[in-house]
Chains A and B, each alone.
Chain A
Amino acid sequence: MVRPSRVVAELQPEVEDVFEEFRTCEMSTLARDGTPITWPTLPFWYSDEKRFKITTSIALAQKALNVRRNPRVSLLFSNPTASGLENPPAVLVQGDAEAPDEIETSVAGFEDELRKALHRQPASLAYGRNPLTRYLMDWYYMRLMIHVTPRRILWWPGADLWREPFELRMDDVA
C-alpha cells in the first residue's frame, strides 16, 4: 500500500524557507546498476524558475555523469543545522535533472550564488588564495551545472516521517 498524501495546489512558504535556508540537501542520483547514490550537496533554489541549480567539480563528476545517463533524481532536505528555522518540515523533491557538458570557470553572473556559498561556508574563502591551494584545488573551479526541475514535492510537518505528508505535483501548478 502506498501512503496517501494530502495533495495541495501551491508551493507553501514553509517549504520554500527550507529550500532557501537549509545549508545542504541529500541529493540522490542513480548509478549504472540503479542504486541511488546519495551525497550532501549545496542547492540553489530559483523561485521564479521553480527549479534548483547544483554545481559540482569535474573532479567529482559522478552525479553529473549519472544524471546524463538517467535524469531521475531526488533532493531530501532533512538536516536543519544552521538554517535558523524552528521545527521545519522535512522536504523531499523528486525531479528530472540536466547536466550539460560545459565547464564553467568564471564566477561572472554567479555572484549571488557565490555570496550565499561564502556566507554559509566562510572557510571556503581560503581556496585559491595562495599558489599552493591554486595548484592543489584548481579542479574545484572547473564546474559543471546540474539543473533540477521538480516533478513532485512531499513534505512532512515537524519532520515527522510517520505522519501523512503533504504533496505537490508540479504539473498541477499553474
Chain B
Amino acid sequence: MWPEITKQLYQFESAVLSGLDEAGYPFSVRCRPYPDASDDEVLRVWLPPDTFLRPGPASLLCHRHDENLWNLKSFLVRGVLKKDDGGWSFQPNQFIPGPGIGGLPAKVRFFTRSRRNARRYLEKRGLARPRIPWDEINAAKKAISQELIRSPDE
C-alpha cells in the first residue's frame, strides 16, 4: 500500500485532508502531504496552528480533471490524523483507487461492479430494475447540445 500511495501522491500538487472538527462535522483542507523522514510510512502535513481539525479518523483525497471535466483521476486514502511534538501526521490504513487509476482492467471492473452494485441495491429493497426512459433522456440531451452549440457560453 505505501509504495502505491507515494507513487500516486507525487503526481498531484496537493491533496484534500478531511477529518472532524470539535462539533463532529467533517472538515477539509488543502495541504501538501509528504512522507515522514523516518521509515514509519506516515505522511506529514503542515496545518495552521489553530486549525479546526481534531486528531482522529481521517482521509486524504487527490483528484484532478481537465477543462471539460474529463480525464478524471483520483484516489482516496483512509487513515488516522495524529498530532505530536513533530506536528501533524497522517497514518494511512487503506488505499482506494478512483477513476483514472488502473488502466483498462480497472475500467472494465468499474462497469461490471457498478451493474452488480445497482442490482444489489434494488434486490435489497425488493425493487425491479427500473426502465430507463432513453428516448426522453436522449431528446433532452439533443435539445441541450443544440442550445450549447448556438450559445456555447451559456
Which residues of chain B have C-beta atoms less than 8 A from A61's C-beta? 117, 121
Q: Which of B21, B69, B117 contacts A58 (CB 8 A)?
A: B117
B124-154 interface bits toward A, Cβ cutoff 8 Å, 1 = contact, 0 = none: 0101011111101110110011011000001
Whether B63 sits at the interface, judged by CB under 8 Å, is yes
Q: Is A24's CB under 8 angstroms from B65's CB?
A: yes
Interface of B (DSSP majority class): mixed
Bits for A83-118, please: 1 = Cβ < 8 Å to B, else 0. 000000010101000000101011110010011001
Residues in B neighbouring A23, C-beta threshold 8 A: 65, 69
Say which residue of A74, A115, A140 sits within 8 Å of B26 (CB atoms): A74
Partner of B154, one of A38, A114, A119, A159: A119
Give the Cβ gap from B9 to chain A, nearest Cβ, in Å: 15
Are B30 and A118 in contact, CB atoms less than 8 angstroms apart?
no
A residues sitting closer than 8 Å to B (CB atoms) are 1-4, 23-24, 26, 28-31, 33-40, 42, 57-61, 72-74, 76, 78-79, 81-82, 90, 92, 94, 101, 103, 105-108, 111, 114-115, 118-123, 125, 128-129, 134, 136-142, 151-152, 159, 161-162
Instruction: Give me 13 other A-B pairs in contact (C-beta within 8 A), A1-B49, A94-B21, A114-B141 excluded.
Output: A28-B18, A38-B16, A76-B18, A76-B29, A82-B67, A94-B27, A105-B131, A111-B140, A122-B148, A129-B138, A137-B111, A138-B118, A162-B48
